[in-house]
């Protein structure tokens, strides 16, 4: 299967390990990612609050570039996914916004490209059963909670790929990898990533709550599918020393990939104790 690939800014910078693990895992799973040429920032996370029309055009241009490739888009970043989906809906609904975008870009918007989160692509196109068959190193020593954050399933779309309040796709993938997935009630709570710079005290409170609740569930780490959530949960946990991994890193470990330790070494919070307990990497 083949997709246009929109990495977004984070996967080439602060979330480089997410980008590397995404590429490696997708290749192993038979997903071909064709990076959109000359893509631009989608405006996450605050662009829409400063100039909404510009935010629509930023994401709209990426949609137009993907149209040229003739492929649906796979997006690993939840904020990018949300922005591209929102722009697509607004452009389809508004003739004026379509006309403005087409005038600026000199390209025609058709609306034929679908934007999908990477979690959705792996869960629905590869499937839990196939993942389970491909696992070489079951992660039976890993107690984890799945953290979706507030953007993957919100706002509720008619064609959303998972439940708004109780998503299960990542839980099921982690279970297929051999993890013991702990139950908790905070999987879609906001971590405050959009406020990380202007309101850091509020963000520390939000992150502290998430870390504490994850620990109370019996988990030893949080698994996420968003580079902004991951960076925020690591940077703002105020010395809790609680690992936060990407779901693609977990998949890579379970698939027996040799590059996993290189990805984990890029984390701000050490994963050595966690990895040592599982004897992997």
3-state DSSP percent of the chain in helix, strand and coil, to 5: 50, 10, 40
Mean pLDDT along residues 206-222:
98
Q: Please give the pLDDT value at position 180.
A: 96
Domain ranges of the chain: 2-117, 136-278
Q: Please give the pLDDT value at position 281.
A: 41
Closest by CA to 227, choosing from 64, 123, 114, 118, is 118
Please write the tens of the pLDDT for every residue from 254-276: 999 999 999 999 999 999 999 98
Residue 97 pLDDT more than 90? yes
- Report the alpha-carbon distance of residue 3 to residue 153 in Å, rounded: 21
* E-assigned strand segments in the chain: 2-5, 32-35, 73-75, 115-117, 143-147, 180-181, 221-224, 244-246
Q: If pLDDT is split at 50, 70 and 90, which confidence band does 156 have?
A: low
Please write the tens of the pLDDT for every residue from 48-88: 667 889 999 999 999 999 999 999 999 999 999 999 999 99
Give the up-direction half-sphere exposure of residue 28: CA atoms within 13 A in the CB hemisphere.
23
Encoded tokens for 181: 């997935």
What is the pTM assigned to this prediction? 0.95
Q: CATH number of the domain at 2-117, please?
A: 1.20.1050.140
187 Cβ contact list (under 8 Å, min separation 6): 145, 146, 147, 148, 166, 167
Domains 2-117 and 136-278 share a fold: no
Please write the tens of the pLDDT for every residue from 22-54: 999 999 999 999 999 999 999 886 666 678 899
- Report the alpha-carbon distance of residue 29 to residue 222 in Å, rounded: 23
Q: Please give the pLDDT value at position 138.
A: 95
Kindly report the backbone phi and psi dihedral angles of residue 201, in degrees, each rounded to the nearest multiple of 5, phi listed first: -65, -40
More confident residue, 140 or 217: 217
Give the up-direction half-sphere exposure of residue 34: CA atoms within 13 A in the CB hemisphere.
13
Mean pLDDT of the chain: 93
Q: Is residue 191 within 8 Å of residue 233, measured between CB atoms? A: yes
Give the angle subtended at the CA of 81 by the CAs of 114 and 59, to the nearest 5°: 80
What is the number of other CB atoms lying within 10 angstroms of the CB of residue 96? Answer: 8
Sign of CA dihedral 176, 182, 245, 163: positive
More confident residue, 195 or 211: 211
Q: CATH number of the domain at 136-278, please?
A: 3.40.50.11810
More confident residue, 154 or 5: 5
């Amino acid at each position: 299967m083949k997709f246009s690939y929109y990495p977004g800014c984070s996967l080439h910078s602060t979330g480089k390990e997410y980008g590397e693990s995404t590429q490696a895992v997708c290749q192993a799973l038979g997903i071909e990612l064709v990076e959109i040429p000359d893509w631009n920032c989608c405006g996450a996370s605050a662009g829409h609050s400063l100039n909404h029309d510009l935010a629509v055009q930023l994401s709209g241009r990426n949609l137009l570039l993907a149209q040229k490739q003739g492929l649906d888009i796979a997006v690993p970043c939840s904020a990018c996914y949300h922005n591209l989906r929102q722009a697509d809906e607004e452009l389809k609904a508004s003739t004026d916004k379509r006309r403005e975008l087409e005038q600026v870009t000199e390209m025609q918007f058709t609306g034929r490209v679908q934007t999908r989160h990477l979690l959705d692509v792996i869960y629905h196109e590869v499937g839990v059963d196939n993942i389970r068959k491909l696992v070489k190193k079951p992660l039976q020593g890993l107690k984890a909670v799945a953290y979706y954050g507030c953007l993957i399933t919100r706002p509720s779309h008619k064609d959303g790929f998972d439940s708004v309040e109780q998503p299960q796709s990542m839980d099921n993938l982690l279970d297929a990898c051999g993890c013991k997935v702990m139950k908790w009630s905070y999987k879609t709570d906001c971590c405050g990533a959009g406020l990380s710079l202007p309101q850091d005290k509020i963000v520390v409170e939000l992150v502290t709550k998430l870390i504490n609740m994850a620990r109370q569930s019996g988990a030893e780490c949080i698994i996420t599918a968003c580079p902004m959530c991951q960076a925020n949960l690591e940077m703002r946990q105020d010395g809790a020393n609680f690992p936060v991994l990407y779901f693609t890193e977990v998949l890579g470990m379970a698939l027996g990939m040799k590059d996993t330790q290189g990805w984990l070494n890029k984390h701000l919070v050490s994963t050595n104790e966690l990895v040592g307990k599982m004897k992997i990497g």
